[in-house]
Amino acid sequence: MSQNRTDHATIPERMRLHLQDDCEKCFGLCCAALPFAASEDFAVDKDAGTPCSHMQSDFRCGVHGKLRQIGFRGCTVYECFGAGQKVAQVTYEGRDWRQYPETAKQMFEVFPIMRQLHELLWYLTEAIALPQSRSIHGELQDALNETERLTLLSADQLLEVDVAAHRAQVNTLLLRTSELVRADALANLKGGKRPKKAYGRGADLIGAKLKGADLRGANLRGAYLIAADLRGADLRAADLIGADFRDADISGADLTGSIFLTQFQINAAKGDDHTKLPPSLARPPHWAS
């Protein structure tokens, strides 16, 4: 959580514990349900619904300690927001697809849906914790409750959920939250000084030279920051929802007060010991290499 949040973040903090990956309680769903193509992130092709060749009988990864070295960098980036254990332990009540092969196809289809719903829960949980969102707190709580209700549906019911429509409704509230946070941040800049350049949703900043840039309160929703140089940049109160951080260099950058940043994005970026992260996110082990 960002440093400017108050005590009413206690409940959201507890909620976030259920939105973090717990592979020990999952059935290797990300390694079986999802497809990937031979690329810079994956050494080989794999079809959806086909277990990875490195998956062991206990669903553990047989090459976990050397994934990046052997060409499976994408595996070290991926996060499911706790959807894996939810599907395994709640939706299917602990029945794994190897012991009950008749569940495999449906379980693999349910997992991506649950992952999207859990991602929304992550954003809503953060939005509720932000003091600037108090004026729409009730609406955010209602959206969180409805999203949580959807995650508790049966497998058959989950397959009928219109996730795109639900995401659109939630996004309206997240955008309002963003506007409140960023307006507050810009209003409180010393001397009323505002960043020189404004960026819009989906901005093309691939390879952009933004070293030391003042991006406080910036709208970087869905921005393409692939391989961007963000060393030492100030991203406090910036909206980073959906921004593509693949190979972006955030060494020494300050992201402590940024909003809607996820572990997935941090894992995809390059950072160092001087990168300042929100307390809810962890420094990836591969940053040290």
Domain, as residue range, for 232: 195-289
Amino acid at 47: D
Strand partners, 57: none
State the pLDDT at residue 192: 54
Strand partners, 214: 234
17 and 65 housed in the same domain: yes
Query: Which tokens belong to 169?
Result: 């409704």
How far is residue 228's CA from residue 244's CA, in Å, rounded to a whole number?
10
Q: Is residue 199 part of a domain?
A: yes
State the pLDDT at residue 90: 97
Q: Is residue 281 part of a domain?
A: yes
146 and 174 housed in the same domain: yes
Strand partners, 55: 61
35 burial (CB, 10 Å; 0-12 / 13-18 / 19+) is exposed
133 and 205 housed in the same domain: no
Q: Is residue 201 part of a domain?
A: yes
How far is residue 121's CA from residue 143's CA, in Å, rounded to a whole number?
9
State the pLDDT at residue 14: 67
Distance from the Cα of residue 130 to its chain's centroid: 17
Q: Is residue 73 part of a domain?
A: yes
How far is residue 149's CA from residue 73's CA, in Å, rounded to a whole number?
34
Strand partners, 36: 46
How far is residue 286's CA from residue 269's CA, in Å, rounded to a whole number?
10
How far is residue 53's CA from residue 60's CA, in Å, rounded to a whole number?
11
- 74 CB-side CA count, 13 A: 15
The tens place of each residue's pLDDT in the chain, 289 residues long, gives 333 333 444 556 667 778 988 999 999 999 999 999 999 889 999 999 999 999 999 999 999 889 989 999 999 899 999 999 999 999 999 999 999 999 999 999 999 999 999 999 999 999 999 999 999 999 999 999 999 999 999 999 999 999 999 999 999 999 999 999 999 998 887 655 666 566 778 899 999 999 999 999 999 999 999 999 999 999 999 999 999 999 999 999 999 999 999 999 999 999 999 999 999 899 998 886 5
259 burial (CB, 10 Å; 0-12 / 13-18 / 19+) is buried
In this structure, the number of other CB atoms found within 10 A of the CB of residue 38 comes to 11
26 and 157 housed in the same domain: yes
Tokens 């049966």 correspond to 154
31 and 171 housed in the same domain: yes
How far is residue 206's CA from residue 216's CA, in Å, rounded to a whole number?
19
What is the per-residue DSSP string for 4-32?
A: T--GGGHHHHHHHGGGS--GGGS-SHHHH
155 and 214 housed in the same domain: no
Please tell me the pTM assigned to this model: 0.90
